[in-house]
Amino acid sequence: MKDKFRLLRRQVIYDLKNGILLQYKKIITFLLLIIILFLFFNNKVYSYKEISHNSVIGFWDYLIYIFRGKEVIRGLSQLDMFDIPVEWILIHGYLLLVIATYPKNDYIERGYQFLIRVGSKWQWWLSKGIYILVSACVYHLCILIVAVAFTAVQGGSFYQANYEIAYHVARLDLTNFIKSKMVVGTLIMPVIIFTTLCFMGMLISFLFNNLIAVIAMIAYLSRSAYWCNKWLLGNYSMLLRADKLSYIEGIGISCASIILSFILGYFYFKRQDIIGKKGDL
């Protein structure tokens, strides 16, 4: 038992090192993406005449902007087809591209080495699941760090959201909006949804390849922008849908999806050859 735990710990350290630490350029790119989005948000806020010139953008305003998503569409028109929550889709898409593709890439590049290193397919697969969870937390932490930095530089509030900014820019009316929903919708649900989508992406990448996995998951994610449905998990990381769906139900569906994707992926992976196909991208 101790030997198995030691081997698992070694594999987890390996994945966190190779999948996160040595991929620092991808983290820097993500930080730059968030900075650009926040700069754009600043310009957008100060261009609104309805917003008081004395208003200062705060921590929660940045998070609301990123995770506001899109209002529920009553009747899908041609105009609605082009009204995409760009910031929301960019962040989710980037994390799918970076996190969900790592397990298959590692299998292709080092598949012939992993039994020598770990000695167990189960431990290798479990380590990849741990990697996904930690990576989702790390990238979400990047968003929080940039939001803290912007707020500190501008002297904004870390405790309250600006009602004017939320209403005019994010189209979110905070008058009757429960603060706990804002906290859960920006700090907890995004991490859960990031993790769930990446577990699903990992499963698809092993069934097919990384390209199909990313395309399939972005297509699935995009449907959330146009349809408010509890089975479309992207809805749970949209604050504008918070009153339409139950976070408890979303957490339950997400956990079930993670477990199902993990188990199905493991049984498929268990049957695979150790030496991956080099041409399988």
Nearest to 225 by CA among 212, 235, 210, 216: 235
76 contacts: CB under 8 Å, gap ≥ 6? 226
- pLDDT digits 0-9 by tens, 187-236: 999 999 999 999 999 999 999 999 999 999 999 998 888 889 999 999 99
pLDDT digits (tens, 9 = 90+) for 121-165: 898 999 999 999 999 999 999 999 999 999 999 999 999 999 999
**Spatial CA neighbour of 136 closest among 201, 87, 183:** 201
Give me the long-range contacts of 229-234 (CB less than 8 A, separation at least 24). 233/193, 233/196, 233/197, 233/257, 234/69, 234/88, 234/92, 234/193, 234/197
* Residue type (1 letter), 48: Y
Q: Are 225 and 164 in contact (CB under 8 A)?
A: no
- What percentage of the chain exceeds 70 in pLDDT? 89
pTM: 0.92
Residues 31 and 139: beta-carbon distance below 8 Å: no
CB 275 within 8 A of CB 112: yes
